Chain A
Amino acid sequence: MKRTRSTLHSAVQIVLLVALVTVSSVASGCSPSAKSNKAITIGYIGGFSGRAASLGIAGRDGALLAVEEANAKSGDPGAPIFTLEAVDDGVGAAAAADAVSALAGKGARAIIGPMTSASAVAAAPVADRLRIPMLSPTASTDELSGRDDYFLRIYPDNRSAAKRLVNEVLREFPAARVAVIYDLGNEAHTQSWANHFQRQLKLGGGSIESSQTFVSGDNPDYTDLAEGAAASPSDCVFLIANAIDSAMIAQRLRAAGSKLPIFASEWSATADLVSTGGAAVDGMVFLNTYDRGSRQSDFVSMSEAFRTRFGYDPGFAAVHAYGMTSMLVRTLSAHPDSQDLRSELLTGQLSTTIQGTTKFDRFGDVALPYYVMTIEDGQFTRLDDR
Chain B
Amino acid sequence: MKRTNFRTTLTWILLLLALVPITVVGAYSAVRLAQIQREAVGFRNGLIAQTAAGDVESFLEAPVVALSQFKLVDPDSATAREMLRSSASSIPFIESILLVDADGKVRAAAVSPDHKMRERDLVGLDRTRDPQFMSARSTRKVSWSGVFTSMFSGRRCIQVAVPLDYGIGIAVVNIESLNAHTWAARIEPDAKIIIVDRNGQMLFHTDRELAALRPNWRNREPIAQAMAGRLGASRYRSDGLEMLGSTAVVAGSGWIVLAEQDWRDASRPIGEVYRGVASVVVIVALLAILTAALFARRLGGPIDDLSLYAMRVGEGDYAASRTVQRYREFEELSDGIGAMAQAVEEREGQLVTSRSKLVEAVAELERSNKELQQFAYVASHDLQEPLRMVTSYVQLLQKRYKGKLDSDADDFIEYAADGAIRMQRMILDLLEYSRVQAKGSAPKCVEAAVAVESAVASLGHSIKESGADVAWSELPLVKADTGQLSRLFQNLIGNAIKFRREGITPEVSISAVRTGDMWEISVADNGIGIDPGNTGEVFDVFRRFESPADYPGTGIGLAVSRRIVERHGGTIRVESELGIGSTFLFTLPAVCAEPDAGPEVV
Please indicate whether A and B come from the same complex rather than being unrelated chains: yes
CB of A245 within 8 Å of the partner chain:
yes
Q: Enumerate chain A residues within 8 angstroms of B296, measured Cβ to Cβ.
A: 4, 7
Per a CB cutoff under 8 Å, which of A7, A223, A243 touches B11? A7
- For A8-26 the 0/1 string (1 means CB < 8 A from B) is 1011101100110011001
Q: B41-49, B118-126, B339-347, B479-487: which one contacts chain A? A: B118-126
Minimal Cβ-Cβ distance residue in A for B274:
A26
Asked if A133 is an interface residue, CB under 8 A from chain B, the answer is no
CA distance A220 to B8 in the complex (A): 94
Expressed in whole angstroms, the minimum distance between the Cβ of A314 and any Cβ of chain B is 12
Q: Is B116 an interface residue (CB 8 A)?
A: yes
Contacts A7-B7, A275-B131, A311-B198 hold; do A248 and B121 have CB atoms under 8 A apart?
A: yes
Select the stretch in B284-292, B323-331, B365-373, B405-413 that faces chain A: B284-292
How long is the Cα–Cα vector from A248 to B118 in the complex, in angstroms?
A: 11
CA distance A130 to B546 in the complex (A): 145
CB distance from A265 to the nearest CB of B (A): 16
CB neighbours of A378 from chain B (8 A)? 129
B199 near A216 (CB under 8 angstroms)? no
Question: How many angstroms between the C-alpha atoms of A200 and B346 in the bound complex?
Answer: 141
A310 within 8 A of B: yes
Asked whether, in the complex, the Cβ of A18 is within 8 Å of the Cβ of B118, the reply is no
Interface size on B, residues (CB 8 A): 58
Residue B54, interface by CB 8 Å: no
Residues in chain B near residue A23, CB distance under 8 A: 278
Contact of B214 with A48 in the complex, beta carbons under 8 Å: yes
A312 interface contact, C-beta 8 A: yes
In the complex, A245→B117 CA distance in Å?
11
Q: Are the CB atoms of B7 and A310 closer together than 8 Å? A: no
With A221-B118, A311-B199: A48-B213 Cβ-Cβ less than 8 Å: yes
Q: Is the CB of B121 within 8 A of A222?
A: yes
A41-73 near B? 1/0 per residue, CB < 8 Å:
000000011110110010011001000000000
Shortest CB–CB separation between residue A108 and chain B, in angstroms? Answer: 15
Q: Is the interface of A mostly helix, strand, loop or mixed?
A: helix
Interface pair A311/B216, CB less than 8 Å apart: yes
Count, A-B residue pairs, CB within 8 A: 156
B199 and A219 within 8 A (CB)? no
Contact of B218 among A3, A219, A311 (CB under 8 A): A311
Contact in complex: A54, B149 (CB < 8 Å): yes
**Does A279 have its Cβ within 8 Å of any Cβ on chain B?**
yes
Within 8 A of A (CB), among B106-120: 116-118, 120
Q: Tell me if A51 and B151 are in contact (CB < 8 A).
A: yes
> Are B152 and A217 closer than 8 Å at their CB atoms?
yes
Q: Does B338 contact A (CB under 8 A)?
A: no
Given contacts A7-B5, A48-B212, A51-B151, contact A309 B282 (CB under 8 A): no
Task: List 24 contacting pairs A-B, 8 Å CB cutoff, sorted by A.
Answer: A11-B12, A15-B285, A18-B281, A19-B278, A19-B282, A51-B149, A51-B150, A53-B156, A53-B214, A54-B148, A54-B149, A64-B216, A220-B117, A221-B118, A244-B152, A251-B126, A255-B124, A276-B125, A278-B128, A279-B128, A279-B129, A309-B216, A311-B216, A378-B129
Given contacts A53-B154, A275-B129, A310-B216, 12 further A-B contacts (CB under 8 A): A4-B297, A8-B11, A11-B15, A51-B150, A61-B216, A218-B116, A251-B124, A275-B130, A277-B126, A278-B104, A311-B201, A312-B199
> Which 4 A-B pairs have CB atoms at the shortest separation, nearest pair first?
A311-B199, A278-B126, A15-B285, A244-B151
